[in-house]
Amino acid sequence: MIHVLQRIPGYPENPDGTLAVSADRDRIEFRARFSDPAAEDVIRDGLERGDYNHVADIRKDHLEVAYAVSQNIEANWTSHSDVDAKVDKARSTSMGDILIDAEGRCHVVVMVGFRAVEDPDIVGRLRELVR
């Protein structure tokens, strides 16, 4: 079983509901920071703001397979037979999201693959989100 936590950042919006220009800059900076050792700081900041949501559990054993299942290709992935959805719809899992494996190890999705989350405080807080 793989738990999927998606980062849903509260980007500022314009009055018409579109993202403010600075939000696009923040998103680019966010993606760049997941490519370096500061990734855990980004996760910690997201936890402080309440940006992470437990969106689904996937009945698969491997991160790569769970990641593939959690992509919106032909239909919303939460309707897949191996998915126990916690929300009605979810975007495709992407960089910055967290996968928690059956042993409770946390992995952040990075540009290519996954990076283990090592900080015990962050791991504990992420695990709490799936209880």
Helix axes 21-33, 39-49, angle to 10 degrees: 130
Q: Which has the minimum average pLDDT: 11-20, 78-87, 117-126?
A: 11-20
Q: How many CB atoms lie within 10 A of CB 12?
A: 10
Token pair of 58 as six digits: 């996937």
Q: Is residue 103 part of a domain?
A: yes
Query: pLDDT tens-digit profile of 24-36?
Result: 445 545 555 555 5
DSSP 78: G
Number of domains the chain contains = 1
Q: Is residue 117 part of a domain?
A: yes
Query: pLDDT tens-digit profile of 74-119?
Result: 889 999 999 999 998 888 998 889 999 999 999 998 878 898 999 9
Cα separation, 70 vs 2, whole angstroms: 11
Q: Is residue 38 part of a domain?
A: yes
Q: Is residue 120 part of a domain?
A: yes
Closest CA to 42 of 109, 103, 131, 128: 109
pTM: 0.81
Q: Is residue 44 part of a domain?
A: yes
Q: Is residue 15 part of a domain?
A: no
* Per-chain mean pLDDT for the chain: 82
Q: Is residue 30 part of a domain?
A: yes
Give the structural domain span for 81: 2-10+20-128
